[in-house]
Amino acid sequence: MQFRPFRRVLVANRGEIAARVVRGCHERGVEALAVYSEADRDALHVRLADLAVEIGPAPSSESYLRQDVLLEVARAHGCDAVHPGYGFLSENAGFAEKVVAAGLVWIGPPPSAISAMGSKTAARQRMQAAGVPLVPGTVEPVSDPDEAMAIARDIGLPVMLKAAAGGGGKGMRRVDHERDLAAALTAARSEARKAFGDDSVYVEKLVVDPRHVEVQVLADRHGTTVHLFERDCSIQRRHQKVIEETPCPVLPEATRRKLTEAAVAATKAVGYVGAGTCEFLYDPKADAFYFLEMNTRLQVEHPITEMVTGVDLVAAQLRVAAGEALWFAQGDLQQTGHAIECRIYAEDAAENFRPAPGPLHGYREPAGGWVRTDAGVVEGMVVPVHYDPMIAKLVVWGRDRAEAIDRCRRALRDYHLVGVPTSIPFFLEVLDDPDFVAGTYHTGFITPEWLQEHLGAPDVDDDLLALAAIARYQADSARAPAGAVASGSDWKRLHRWRSRKGSGGDLRDRARRARGERVGASGRRGWRVSVDSGRGG
Q: Which of 105, 465 has the CB closer to other proteins?
A: 465
Are the CB atoms for 95 and 111 separated by under 8 Å?
no
Q: Which of 75, 361 has the CB closer to other proteins?
A: 361
Q: From the CB of 376, what's the least distance to other proteins, in Å?
A: 15
Q: Which residues are catalytic?
A: 297
SS3 state of residue 321: helix
Please give the DSSP secondary-structure letter assigned to residue 183.
H
Q: From the CB of 41, what's the least distance to other proteins, in Å?
A: 19
By C-alpha distance, which of 165, 70, 83, 57 is closest to 386? 57
Amino acid present at 507: L
> How far is Cα 298 from Cα 315, in angstroms, rounded to an integer?
12
Q: From the CB of 530, what's the least distance to other proteins, in Å?
A: 5
Q: Which of 179, 286 has the CB closer to other proteins?
A: 179
> How far is Cα 398 from Cα 352, in angstroms, rounded to an integer?
31
Plot region of 483 (φ>0 → left; ψ -120 to 50 → alpha; else → beta) = left
Each residue of 135-165: b (16+ CB within 10 Å) or e? bebbeebbeeeeebbebbeeeeeebbbbbbb
Amino acid present at 246: T
Amino acid present at 533: S
Q: Which of 400, 517 has the CB closer to other proteins?
A: 517
The Cα angle at residue 358 between residues 353 and 363, in degrees rounded to 5: 95
> How far is Cα 340 from Cα 232, in angstroms, rounded to an integer?
10
Q: Which of 203, 412 has the CB closer to other proteins?
A: 412
Q: From the CB of 460, what's the least distance to other proteins, in Å?
A: 6
Element housing 95 (H / E): helix 93-101
Q: From the CB of 346, what's the least distance to other proteins, in Å?
A: 8
SS3 state of residue 379: coil
By C-alpha distance, which of 210, 146, 140 is closest to 174? 210
> How far is Cα 317 from Cα 49, in angstroms, rounded to an integer?
18
Q: From the CB of 240, what's the least distance to other proteins, in Å?
A: 9
**Roughly what angle, to the nearest 10 degrees, separates helices 145-155 and 181-196?**
110
> How far is Cα 346 from Cα 507, in angstroms, rounded to an integer?
33
Q: Which of 130, 428 has the CB closer to other proteins?
A: 428
Element housing 435 (H / E): helix 434-438
Q: From the CB of 19, what's the least distance to other proteins, in Å?
A: 20
Q: Which of 139, 385 has the CB closer to other proteins?
A: 385
Question: Measured between alpha carbons, how far is residue 306 from residues 198, 313, 450, 533 in Å?
Answer: 34, 7, 32, 36
